[in-house]
Structure formats: C-alpha cells, structure tokens
C-alpha cells in the first residue's frame, strides 16, 4: 500500500511502548518532526528513515521517508493540501531547477539522521510529505507554507 505520504514497509505494525518511546526520546534517538522541516538522511534504496506516530497502545511505525523530503506540518497540510499535492506531482529533477542563490530559511528545522540508522522520526500521522524533487524545486514556497501555519 502506498500513497503520497509514506513508503510502507514490513515493520509498519511494530509498536513501541510509551515508556520505551520516552526513553528513546531522552537518548536522542527520536526526532520530533511534528512541526515540519527538511529531512536529511538515507534514500529509500539505502534503507530510508522510519517514522512513528502515537496510538492508544504506544507508538507505531507508520512507514518510511527518505532524505531530501520536506515534512509539512498538519495545519499547513490541512490549509494548503491542493497546492502541496500540485507541487508534489513534480517527481523528477532537472539541472536547470537547481537553486543557485537560495539559502534555507533560519525558520526551517533541518533534521539529520545520517550516521545513525536507529533514529526514528516522530510524526502525528497527518503531515504532508513532499517528495525530494518537489522539495528541492519549491523549497522557498514550501518553507513559507510550513512556517505560516507553524502552530499545530
């Protein structure tokens, strides 16, 4: 099963107890990305990055994302879903699309999972995951949308 948000894996139904989750959070193995931001890390082909969301039973693995994607927070997803889906239709990268003078906004969170395959990304589960090609091409617009509706 696949949709525009996540790549599902055979680990999707793994449950992490709330006690274990908070222990992992304290040790730095959980990245709280619920407010959105740019994700750095391995591609899906390299193993991707596991995502978890809270359930009544604990925290469940809900799928994988890859480095280069931009996580759009829940409120921005709700308010701009049509625009975000239009951006996300862009799924190739051309050299002429490379930004030459744009620097990531200081208001954008950047999450790095390189060097630690055990890190998990904590999401609510209703964020929008912008593919890495659209994230690259539309970064400035995506940052503005995510920041405008930052309060989730």
- Structure confidence at residue 98 (pLDDT): 62
- Structure confidence at residue 92 (pLDDT): 79
Closest-CA residue to 117 (of 48, 68, 32): 48
- Domain ranges for the chain: 15-148
User: If you average pLDDT over residues 41-61, what whole number do you get?
Assistant: 93
- Structure confidence at residue 14 (pLDDT): 78
Check: CB of residue 66 under 8 Å from CB of residue 43.
Answer: yes
What tokens does 83 get? 């625009």
Task: Give the full edge-to-edge strand order of the sheet including 110-112.
Answer: 110-112, 37-40, 70-72, 128-130
User: If you average pLDDT over residues 50-62, what whole number do you get?
Assistant: 92
Check: CB of residue 91 under 8 Å from CB of residue 131.
Answer: yes
User: If you average pLDDT over residues 82-105, what whole number do you get?
Assistant: 80
User: If you average pLDDT over residues 27-45, what whole number do you get?
Assistant: 94
Task: Kindly indicate the confidence band of residue 69, based on its pLDDT and cuts at 50, 70 and 90.
Answer: very high
């Amino acid at each position: 099963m696949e949709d525009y948000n996540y790549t599902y894996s055979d680990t999707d139904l793994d449950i992490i107890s709330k006690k274990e989750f908070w222990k992992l959070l304290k040790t730095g193995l959980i990245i709280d990305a619920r407010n959105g931001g740019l994700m750095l890390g391995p591609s899906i082909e390299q193993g991707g990055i596991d995502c978890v969301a809270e359930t009544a039973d604990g925290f469940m693995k809900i799928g994988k994302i890859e480095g280069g994607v931009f996580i759009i927070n829940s409120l921005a997803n709700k308010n701009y879903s049509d625009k975000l889906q239009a951006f996300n239709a862009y799924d190739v990268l051309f050299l002429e699309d490379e930004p030459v003078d744009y620097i990531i906004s200081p208001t954008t969170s950047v999450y790095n999972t390189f060097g630690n395959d055990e890190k998990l990304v904590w999401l609510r589960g209703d964020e929008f995951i912008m593919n890495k090609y659209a994230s690259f091409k539309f970064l400035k617009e995506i940052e503005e949308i995510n920041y405008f509706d930052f309060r989730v």
